[in-house]
Amino acid sequence: MKRIKLLAVLVVLWGLVMAPALAQGKWELQKNEDGIEVYTRKVKDTQFKEIRVVCDLPGTPNDLFSLLKDVEHHSDWVYLNRKTKLIKRKSEHRLLYYTEADMPWPLTDRDMVVEAVFMPAYKPNVARVEVKSVTSIVSEKPGFVRIPYSLAVWDISPVSGGRTKIDYTFRVNPGGAIPAWMVNATVAIGPVKTFQNLRNALTQRQKEPSLTP
């Protein structure tokens, strides 16, 4: 059981984060649980597989945008996220933030700085969020391995019944000495946990009283 948890936590590095169609290989379904489909495929020039998550969530695309922009509360729903801190709000739709992943012993905790770009009208009836790692913003910290590369993309579409369809992809180089086979073997576990938490967070927000008259 401890081994399963150890391997599963490796995929927290995708937290909060997802990649456009730059990879080679065919998507293969790894897990279909609780309405959440998780796929993987091989990526050219790396041993780490790309992840894709497809699911429906309650609320509108704007509801999801609001939750994703609330970076200080990402730890409420991103699986095993220790903390996330806003560095700079460049504009209404462009954020820079720092995040930490709480890895279990004997793995070293990871951290990274990312820039999130929100595109409400990326295509007709499709919004997009791109979250990409950036460098030379925050100095590396003792006790952490800095993730050298990550790219996450959310494609977000409204569907019937006041719900939103998510098509999320993510690729990452976690840095340090983590064997690729460890990450690839249990790559579907973390995304399911995160999207279950995200669904619960969106449901809870819908229950909160509106502040507008």
Two tokens at 155? 């494609």
Residues recorded for the chain: 213
Q: Given this model, what pLDDT does residue 21 score?
A: 40
pLDDT in tens, 182-200: 555 555 578 899 999 999 9
pLDDT in tens, 165-180: 999 999 988 887 765 5
* Start-end of H helices in the chain: 2-9, 61-69, 180-185, 189-207
Q: Given this model, what pLDDT does residue 213 score?
A: 39
Average pLDDT over residues 145-149: 92
Listed by start position, the domains of the chain span 2-207
Please answer whether residues 94 and 115 qualify as being in contact, where contact means their C-beta atoms are separated by less than 8 angstroms: yes
CATH superfamily, region 2-207: START domain (3.30.530.20)
- Check whether 141 has a pLDDT greater than 50: yes
DSSP annotation of 25 reads: S
DSSP annotation of 15 reads: B
- What's the rounded Cα separation, in Å, for the pair 99 and 4? 24
- Check whether 154 has a pLDDT greater than 50: yes
User: Whole-prediction pTM value?
Assistant: 0.83
- What's the rounded Cα separation, in Å, for the pair 59 and 187? 27
DSSP annotation of 210 reads: P
- What's the rounded Cα separation, in Å, for the pair 201 and 77? 7
